[in-house]
């Protein structure tokens, strides 16, 4: 790369003096990877390129998933309006009646809701978020040349790609994609005659998610191995940035919980294809009795939610890690309570395996079991509150730079508080009798893990964009993006709490026939308009992103944010192997900001005598 | 494989480490299935039957196979080329025989009136042992790779080859122990 010949700065001098010589240049085999276009940008084994692949694929899916939500929001906000204009895209799923008015097919409405959930949860917030930033940051921040196995890393992306491809195809089959909800409960998911999407649509859905799990496991094994085995000299676990802690624990949760989902799917496939009765019992369909006897659909729910609940932490922990790092860098202060942050990540991860049945309070499980799950669920509030306290304490009296990255990080904290509080309501099995399956639940999880995770992702993209492309994203557009999204997100989901408490059920196609709910027609209209505005604001972001890749303001110095972590000691556009010569050695933790009058001290700076009186890090 | 880390020993260690994490994830899958079994069993309407005799024979087969691969590994370390190759082939043969005995076991199950699509008590046995066989097949592929290397490369002992062999060995012991766990589980929770 051309940039490796630039003038030496302080970081280069430090690395040359104290760095680890791993004879990088004696091994030329490593350079083979970037020999031609195909190997450099498509079948790349370089973690930085793979990160970009995850990010851009994730953005593609985010666009599809969000566009789907706009379509079903149109149905909910304007149920009587003419949707014939959508016919060129949706084809036969818009049924035009005799009066020439296009109506969204009811079957397809459910397919849209199902696909929106599946896509956003798995493809965007799991692969797009943790895939992107684990790949980009783990090798750069722990100080290694690449992942433990670059080959498995490449496979991880391509399995994700394959999963996406299969899911994308399922959108175009004539019976429609799967439409039984993203949780795929049997019998809707087990019997191909249950709904039009339960046939081929469900087959493809299952296939896609199995590929997806393979991708997550390959990625996760790599992340854990890299963090635990390939840290550079001096990088002890207690010196890792919180991003790395978050990615590490996320990967471990994934490795432990995704196989359980596969088990659930495995038995589901038996029920679908081999006529077994794991989940099916005494079912009549179309007036006909099926010969399935002795199964239990609740069994599937247990297996599903044993993944499903840890999955929400797989989504939110990377966002938390990113936010911790971004807040600390941009408030020019050490993160408050570093060890408490690590222990709360560990506590959240541990508890995440003990709360799955709170998704099943109303499915007929034993009320005494519900009690225990209520208890554990409420205990999760403790480490979560510790984290929130520490973020606010980090901001307190900080010299905060209000740029796009830090604004999104602050927005994350706001959303996490708002969404977390409603979790305390829903975690109670008694209150859940009223609240379950209403818009209150929709509001809760969209704010606390949907929008919040997106905010973490945006904070990360704005912050590390220079690391990815050597350019900055446009700040003005970034701030416009932030304010519209921030206000818009609350405008969408805040009203949903009210209609949820009033008992409006989620997943319904239309409320026009219910007198009780007709009073909310105007509110639904408002929500839909807010959703459209927020959707349009995201297009600003996408335009900014792609414009900035080629035309953004150029990064002139290696460490534009004045951060302490290792990724900013590489050349501006790091080549293969990240550091051109020696690997940096680490002498201190990752949050030395404002120590002894120094604005920040990089991790590669040896500890000097005057610092001894300051700390024990 | 092209690894950017140039510290070879470290890279080898991390590959084995990765394998162990993978084994952890496979373990979770079977833990989930056996817990599902217990949950379903406690709900009643559960068929009780004797496990097919073939399952015990297959247990012996896989145990010997594990031992054979271990002996092959030791012979390799001791630079005994022929013994090493011989035990490698024996391990492969016994691995294949294991799959066959499992299949015969399913036939026996069917004959005593426990079909795949009957009471879940039986379906679970087919599903769980079937998934285990799928993992054994993965191990057989790994042994085939080892045989391919043993026959095509000139014989020499190196850290890299030792490590590669060790990974196959660990996986093979793992599916062995996994089967013993499953057998004991089926015996205890009938």
Chain B CA closest to residue A26: B6
Measured in angstroms, the CA of B14 and the nearest CA of chain A are apart by 6
Task: Count contacts between A and B (CB, < 8 Å).
Answer: 135
CA distance A9 to A115: 50
A-chain residues near B40 (CB < 8 A): 278, 296, 299
Which residues, given as ranges, of chain B have pLDDT below 50?
Answer: 1-6
**A148/B3 touch (CB, cutoff 8 Å), yes or no:** yes
A-chain residues near B163 (CB < 8 A): none
Going from N- to C-terminal start, the domains of chain B cover: 16-40+54-188
- Going from the C-alpha of A206 to that of each of A166, A267, A292, A295, A303, the distances in angstroms are 10, 12, 21, 20, 15
**B7/A22 touch (CB, cutoff 8 Å), yes or no:** yes
- Residue burial A181-207, b: 16+ Cβ < 10 Å; e: rest: bbbbbbbbbbbbebbbbbbbbbbbbbb
Q: CB contact, 8 Å: B48 with chain A?
A: no
**A302/B36 touch (CB, cutoff 8 Å), yes or no:** yes
* pLDDT at A34 (0 to 100): 54
Supply the ipTM of this predicted assembly.
Answer: 0.91
CA distance B69 to B75: 10
**B29/A146 touch (CB, cutoff 8 Å), yes or no:** no
* pLDDT at B8 (0 to 100): 59
Measured in angstroms, the CA of A236 and the nearest CA of chain B are apart by 16
Q: Where are the alpha helices (DSSP H) in A2-149?
A: 10-18, 37, 47-77, 87-90, 106-118, 132-142
Long-range Cβ contacts of B95-100 (<8 Å, 24+ apart): B95/B62, B95/B65, B95/B136, B95/B139, B95/B140, B95/B143, B95/B172, B96/B140, B97/B61, B97/B65, B98/B58, B98/B61, B98/B62, B98/B65, B98/B133, B98/B136, B99/B133, B99/B136, B99/B137, B99/B140
pTM (two decimals) = 0.93
- Pull the structure tokens for residue A81: 């309006």
* pLDDT at B10 (0 to 100): 67
In CATH, what number does B16-40+54-188 get?
Answer: 1.20.120.80
**A144/B43 touch (CB, cutoff 8 Å), yes or no:** no
Q: What is the 3-state secondary structure (H, E, C) of A207-220?
A: HHHHHHHHHHHHHH
Query: Mean pLDDT, consecutive 10-residue segments, chain A of 617 residues?
Result: 56 86 64 63 89 97 97 93 89 87 92 96 96 96 92 95 97 93 93 90 96 96 94 94 97 95 95 91 85 87 93 96 97 95 97 93 87 94 96 95 96 96 93 93 96 97 96 96 97 96 93 87 95 97 97 93 94 90 92 89 89 65
Surface-to-core class of residue A371, CB atoms within 10 Å of its CB (0-12 exposed, 13-18 middle, 19+ buried)? exposed
Q: CB contact, 8 Å: B83 with chain A?
A: no
Surface-to-core class of residue A23, CB atoms within 10 Å of its CB (0-12 exposed, 13-18 middle, 19+ buried)? exposed
* pLDDT at A321 (0 to 100): 97
CB neighbours of A536 closer than 8 A, spacing ≥ 6? none
* pLDDT at B4 (0 to 100): 41
Class of domain A344-555 (CATH, top level)? mainly alpha
CA distance A223 to B144: 29
* pLDDT at B13 (0 to 100): 77
End-to-end Cα separation, chain A, in angstroms: 36
**B5/A22 touch (CB, cutoff 8 Å), yes or no:** yes
Going from N- to C-terminal start, the domains of chain A cover: 1-43+560-617, 344-555
């Amino acid at each position: 790369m051309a940039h490796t010949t630039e003038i030496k700065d302080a970081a280069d001098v430090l690395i040359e003096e104290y760095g680890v010589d791993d004879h990088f240049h004696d091994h030329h085999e490593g350079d083979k990877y970037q020999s031609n276009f195909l190997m450099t940008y498509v079948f790349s084994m370089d973690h930085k390129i793979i990160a970009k692949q995850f990010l851009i694929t994730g953005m593609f899916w985010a666009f599809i998933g969000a566009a789907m939500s706009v379509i079903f929001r149109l149905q909910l906000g304007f149920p009587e309006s003419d949707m014939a204009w959508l016919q060129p895209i949706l084809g036969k799923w818009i049924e035009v009646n005799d009066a020439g008015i296009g109506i969204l097919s009811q079957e397809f409405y459910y397919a849209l809701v199902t696909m929106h959930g599946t896509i956003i949860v798995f493809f965007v917030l799991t692969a797009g978020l943790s895939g992107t930033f684990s790949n980009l940051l783990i090798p750069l921040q722990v100080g290694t040349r690449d992942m433990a196995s670059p080959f498995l890393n490449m496979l991880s992306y391509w399995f994700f790609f394959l999963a996406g491809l299969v899911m994308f195809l399922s959108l175009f089959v004539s019976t429609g994609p799967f439409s039984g909800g993203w949780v795929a409960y049997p019998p809707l998911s087990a019997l191909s005659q249950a709904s039009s999407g339960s046939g081929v649509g469900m087959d493809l859905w299952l296939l896609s998610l199995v590929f997806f799990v393979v991708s997550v496991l390959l990625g996760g094994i790599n992340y854990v191995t890299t963090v635990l085995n390939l840290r550079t000299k001096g990088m002890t676990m207690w010196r890792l940035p919180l991003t790395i802690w978050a990615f590490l624990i996320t990967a471990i949760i994934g490795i432990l919980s995704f196989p359980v989902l596969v088990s659930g799917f495995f038995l589901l496939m038996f029920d679908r294809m081999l006529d077994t009765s794991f989940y099916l019992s005494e079912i009549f369909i179309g007036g006909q009795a099926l010969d399935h006897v002795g199964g239990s659909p609740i069994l599937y729910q247990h297996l599903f939610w044993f993944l499903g609940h840890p999955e929400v932490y797989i989504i939110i922990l990377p966002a938390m890690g990113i936010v911790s790092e971004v807040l600390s860098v941009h408030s020019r202060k050490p993160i408050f309570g570093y060890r408490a942050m690590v222990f709360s990540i560990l506590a959240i991860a541990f508890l995440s395996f003990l709360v799955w049945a709170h998704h099943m309070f109303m499915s007929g499980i034993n009320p005494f079991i519900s009690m225990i799950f209520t208890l554990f669920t409420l205990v999760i509030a403790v480490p979560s509150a510790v984290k929130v306290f520490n973020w606010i304490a980090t901001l307190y009296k900080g010299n905060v730079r209000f740029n796009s990255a830090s604004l999104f990080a602050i927005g994350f904290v706001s959303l996490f508080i708002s969404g977390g509080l409603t979790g305390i309501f829903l975690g109670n099995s008694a209150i859940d009798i009223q609240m379950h399956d209403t818009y209150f639940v929709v509001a809760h999880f969209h704010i606390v893990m949907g929008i919040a995770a997106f905010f973490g992702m945006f904070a990360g993209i704005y912050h590390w964009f220079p690391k990815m492309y050597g350019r900055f994203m446009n700040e003005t557009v970034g701030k416009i993006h932030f304010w519209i999204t921030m206000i818009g997100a609350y405008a969408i989901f805040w009203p949903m709490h009210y209609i949820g408490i009033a008992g409006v059920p989620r997943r319904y196609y239309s409320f026009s026939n219910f007198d009780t709910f007709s009073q909310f027609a105007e509110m639904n209209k408002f929500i839909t308009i807010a959703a459209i505005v927020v959707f349009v604001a995201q297009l600003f972001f996408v335009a900014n992103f792609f414009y900035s890749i080629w035309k953004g303001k150029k990064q002139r110095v290696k460490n534009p944010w004045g951060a302490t972590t290792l990724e900013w000691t590489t050349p501006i556009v790091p080549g293969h192997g990240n550091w051109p010569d020696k690997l940096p050695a680490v002498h201190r933790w990752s949050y030395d900001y404002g120590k002894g009058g120094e604005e920040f001290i990089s991790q590669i700076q040896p500890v000097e005598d005057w610092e001894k009186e300051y700390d024990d890090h | 494989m092209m690894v950017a880390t140039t510290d070879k020993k470290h890279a080898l260690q991390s590959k084995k480490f990765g394998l162990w994490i993978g084994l952890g994830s496979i373990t979770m899958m079977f833990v989930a299935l056996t817990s599902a079994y217990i949950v379903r069993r406690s709900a009643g309407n559960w068929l009780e039957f004797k496990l097919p005799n073939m399952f015990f024979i297959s247990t012996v087969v896989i145990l010997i196979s594990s031992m054979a691969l271990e002996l092959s590994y030791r012979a390799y370390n001791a630079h005994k080329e022929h013994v090493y190759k011989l035990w490698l082939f024996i391990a492969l043969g016994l691995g294949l025989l294991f799959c066959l005995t499992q299949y015969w076991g399913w036939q026996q199950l069917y004959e005593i009136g426990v079909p795949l699509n009957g009471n879940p008590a039986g379906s679970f046995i087919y599903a769980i042992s079937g998934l285990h066989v799928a993992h054994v097949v993965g191990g057989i592929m790994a042994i085939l790779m080892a045989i391919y290397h043993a026959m095509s490369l000139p014989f020499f002992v190196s850290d890299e080859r030792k490590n590669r062999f060790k990974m196959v060995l660990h996986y093979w012991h793992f599916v062995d122990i996994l089967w013993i766990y499953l057998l004991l589980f089926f015996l205890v929770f009938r």
